[in-house]
Structure 1
Amino acid sequence: MVKIALQIKATLENIEELQTCHPHYAFFVRIKCTNCGEVSDKWHDITEGERVNEDTRNPKGFNFYMKCRMCFRENSIDIVEGSNVSYMADDSGKMKTIVAFDCRGVELIQFSPRTGWIARASENGTTFEDVDLSKDDWVEYDQKNNTSLGVYEFESHFIKIKK
């Protein structure tokens, strides 16, 4: 069992909070089997609010489950409960862990942000839902505060953590 944290970094313009902290956000990742080294050729989605492969051995199931297509090893991933946090204005330009995964038999190697982010504008501004960061930049206008908003230079990587 390995715990892997997703860290992000972005420049926020007039954004107080950027988050995925809802149970239906799908984290799109590419994975590698730790047994044979096979790297998935497609993106897999992991959603905290969804459970799969529930059986008598594991009545709670997993957030993600698959058998490796090369070595047939059973692998699973769970989002660590309570690990999902927001990226705040004070974090702008710095790497910050926003979620942790409990990985069994796989390693996370790449993240694709895509849609589903929530951005809350500064000074009690508008909240934008379903923000799309697939192009690593997002721009909008907050009519409530008459100001431009943006998320720029989005970066991400995974690190192994000890907990």
Structure 2
Amino acid sequence: MLSLTLTADLVGVNELQPNDTPENPFWYTFKVQCTSCREIHPNPVSVSRFEANDMSGSRGEANFVWKCKSCKRESSATIKSPPVPYQQSSPPTRQKILEFDCRGLEFTEFSPEGEWLATGTESGSKFAGIDLTEGEWFDYDEKAGEEVSIKDLKWEIRRN
């Protein structure tokens, strides 16, 4: 099992999470490595927890099925549960966002491409369409009358 963890400095917002619903699935983007031959796929891959792919020679399904070009082995990954919202803390702490069951592959690097959501800490204002690809985000909470931000993002993929 692997976990995607995040450490971030949230100011004025809480409950940072990907916008991930059956109607609007979030595509988690990773670099992937074969655990057999250690080859790293040259292109990032995207995984949705709402997509099911058949695995060869099996009745099973996985969210992501991949065949390594080097050693020809088929590998799979399944997202175990919905994403867990990141909670604001001071100082920022590492928190698990997502958990994967990986067979024959490892995700080595995460890219936060896609739409993220957050909630104003004091006001309860909903922030949607947050783009974290630049590593930080700034906005203004009209209800609270203050600037809000997300910065110092550190993504890690860890073994459970």
Shift of 1:21: 6.5
Q: Percent identity?
A: 27
In the alignment, what sits opposite 2:97? Answer: 98
1:78 and 2:78 matched: yes
TM-score after normalising by structure 2 = 0.90
TM-score normalized by the length of structure 1: 0.88
Superposed displacement of residue 121, structure 1: 1.1
Displacement after TM superposition at 1:54 (Å): 6.4
**Counterpart residue number, 1:145:** 144
Change (3 A) 1:22 1:73: same
Partner of 2:14: 16
Q: CA contact under 8 A between 2:110 and 2:155: conserved in structure 1?
A: yes
1:33, distance to aligned residue in structure 2 (A): 0.1
Aligned Cα root-mean-square deviation (Å): 1.9
- Hey, what's the Cα distance between the residues in 2 that align with 1:78 and 1:14? 33
- Please report how far the alpha carbon of residue 142 of structure 1 lies from its aligned counterpart in structure 2 after TM superposition: 1.4
Offset of 1:90 from its aligned partner? 2.6
Could you tell me which runs of 5 or more consecutive residues in structure 2 were left unpaired when the two chains were aligned.
Answer: none
CA distance in structure 1 between the aligned counterparts of 2:84 and 2:91, rounded to whole angstroms? 14
Aligned equivalents of 1:91, 1:25: Cα separation in 2: 28
Total equivalences in the alignment: 157
- Range with bigger deviation, 70-79 or 138-147: 138-147
* Preserved CA contact (<8 Å) 1:9 1:156: yes
The residue type paired with residue 65 of structure 2 is: Y
1:156 and 2:155 equivalent? yes
Map residues 1-150 of structure 1 onto 2, 5 A cutoff: 3-20=1-18, 22-23=20-21, 24-53=25-54, 57-58=58-59, 61-82=61-82, 84-90=83-89, 93-150=92-149
Residues 8-58 of structure 1, C-alpha deviation per residue, up to 9 Å, x if partnerless?
110001012101262412111001100111101111111111112267833
Q: Which amino acid aligns with 1:16?
A: N
Amino acid across the alignment from 1:119: A
Cα distance 1:91–1:105, how it changes in 2: closer, same or farther (>3 A)? farther
When residues 130 and 51 of structure 1 are mapped into structure 2, their CA distance, relative to the original with a 3 A threshold, is farther
Which stretches of structure 1, 4 residues or longer, exceed 4 Å deviation after superposition? none
Residue 18 of structure 2 contacts residue 114 of structure 2 at CA under 8 Å; is this kept in 1?
Answer: no
Q: Which moved more, 1:97-106 or 1:12-21?
A: 12-21
Report how far residue 153 of structure 1 moved: 0.6
Gaps of 5+ in 1: none
Cα deviation 1:29-88 (Å, max 9, x = unaligned)? 0011001111011111111111122678335x2111111011110011100135x21101
